[in-house]
Amino acid sequence: RDACKFTNYRSALGSNWAIGWSVFGVQSSIIPLAAAYLATGGDMSNSVAATLLASLAMATNSFGNALTQTFSGRFSDRFGRRVMAFSGLLLAGSAVTFMGFAPVAWVFVSLTACLGIGAAFMGPSIQAAVSDVIGTRRSGGQVLAVYQMASDFGMILGPLVAGLIADAWGFVPAFIMSGLLLVAAAFTWAPFRKARWPKDIADTDYTGR
């Protein structure tokens, strides 16, 4: 209850729900299917091309994420949690939104790389923001459990809803909806929004940045 008085914690809950939906859920379910469809033009008899592009897209996503993780934590400490979370969510959200419009394979693969890079920017920064809220004077078990539960709920709901939308209306609206969730979450961390927190609860050196 005390943690919810922090702007950054409320932003982290909403963001982690969107991340669970779009980064973990849709990434593991809709993206491979869309890659396979793009590679074959809907003719799934060409299973080799479908498998190759789906594998390449997922591998490129992971590579971009792993490479960016090597310095994203340092950037979070230097520039602040909010700036990095905002940048990462905006990049990832934009990448997901435009995946449905990718005309050729290399554009689709490039967008999956951008998704991985965006996830590497926002992931450590949002986790660090939650850690800052917990501080050094309190136990953070319940705070972290609720934070993780938000992501799990998104991971359950995302593939179901996005899959139903893709089945009914195609990949484009499924990607647009999933991407816009991340973009909406990004603006809860926007630099022009001032973080607020209860001074009597937070650590004395807490800045909310």
- CATH fold of 3-186 reads Growth Hormone; Chain: A; (1.20.1250)
CA-to-CA separations, 88 to 114, 179, 192, in angstroms, rounded: 9, 12, 16
Q: Is the pLDDT of residue 202 over 70?
A: no
pLDDT for residue 192 is more than 90: no
Q: How far apart are the first and last CA of the chain?
A: 21
Q: Are 25 and 157 in contact (CB under 8 A)?
A: yes
Q: Give the model's pLDDT for residue 96.
A: 97
The pLDDT tens digits of the residues spanning 150-189 come to 999 999 999 999 999 999 999 999 999 999 999 999 999 9
Q: Name the DSSP letter for residue 203.
A: -
What does the domain layout of the chain look like in residue ranges?
3-186
pTM score: 0.90
Check whether 200 has a pLDDT greater than 70.
Answer: no
Question: pLDDT exceeding 90 applies to what percent of the chain?
Answer: 66
Region 4-13: mean pLDDT is: 87
Contacting residues for 204 by C-beta, under 8 A, at least 6 apart: none
- How many other CB atoms are found less than 10 A from the CB of residue 113? 21
